[in-house]
Chain A
Amino acid sequence: MSVVVRLPAQLRALVGGAGEVEVEARTVREAILTVDAAHPGLAERVLDDGGALRRFVNVFVADEDVRFLDGLDTVLSDGETISLVPAVAGG
């Protein structure tokens, strides 16, 4: 599956400044790890030591928070957009 990973400003330096990266991945976790393989450092910023999503990172697939879906195991379809978004905002 070819998917697009959208990155917030805080992570763009890791990928050379781009706002999004296209990768081949079947799940959200795989997408994050695939970006990390090409651009080391991304995964440790987004995932904690146990490999779970950090509590102040939100991930959206097709505009739905993955915490309402299957979390990092959420299955992706071809052409889907994954957005990594800081959780600390608003209110």
Chain B
Amino acid sequence: MNPAPSIIAFTTFSGLGFGLLFWLGMDPTPPRGWVAFVFFFIGFALALGGLAASAQHLGRPERALKAFSQWRSSWLSREACCAVAALVTMGLYAAGLVFADVKIPPLGWLGAALSLGTVFTTSMIYTQLKTVPRWHNRLTPLLFLSLSLAGGALLSGRVTLSLALILIVGALQVVWWRIGDKALQASGTTLGTATGLGDGGRVRAFEPPHTGTNYLLREMVYVVARRHARKLRGIALILMMVLPILLLLAPFHHITALLALLSHVTGVLTARWLFFAEAEHVVGLYYGKR
């Protein structure tokens, strides 16, 4: 799949923002006043920035409001509804803490649940696609949720918790890659089943339908990543897991914590690029590109 920068930014930063909002909502002793303002501002900026980036990817962004209508059937619509509900609920909760020094725990819990729900619905947009076997996997939502929780914990300064979560994220990521590498083969879809000609012999794409490229090839048949995938996976793991853990185990300092966060986010961005770039859409079979 085409690793569009807008979607990589959206899924990474909104996941991080909603992760932070989750921990703020669950916190029994949340920050108040100006400190609360700063924390919530970062959470909202990341979540909203991510959503704005995703709107960039639309062909007709001026009609984006229509996307709230199909929550009964569409995961993308559910994501939009869930995101707005989470932001409104957390906004009310934050307003209480920042301006009135009032804490309303049930509102925080509801906002936290909706924040995680938004990350879950985001992950389901990809998980539901049978056409991309690498994504069509129960571990995909777990990976997104754990990444969001780990990033949020790191952002909100929960050192011990983020250490544990980052370890879980790293393990999940490795297992997800291993399963994903065999997913297309395990799906049973081949050029033989795609054309129905498989029973007659070995099928080979002889001639494409056109001499130029097209939307399908640009969007769904991205093959550049394969060459450097191994190296990039190593870099992603070091940046998102190994380096942050080493930095967090060092004596606590705001600079090391910041470096751990930056390293983690860069690692997640790399892994998210691979998430798209390595994903094989079955339509590529018709073009002999798998």
Q: Do A and B come from one complex?
A: no
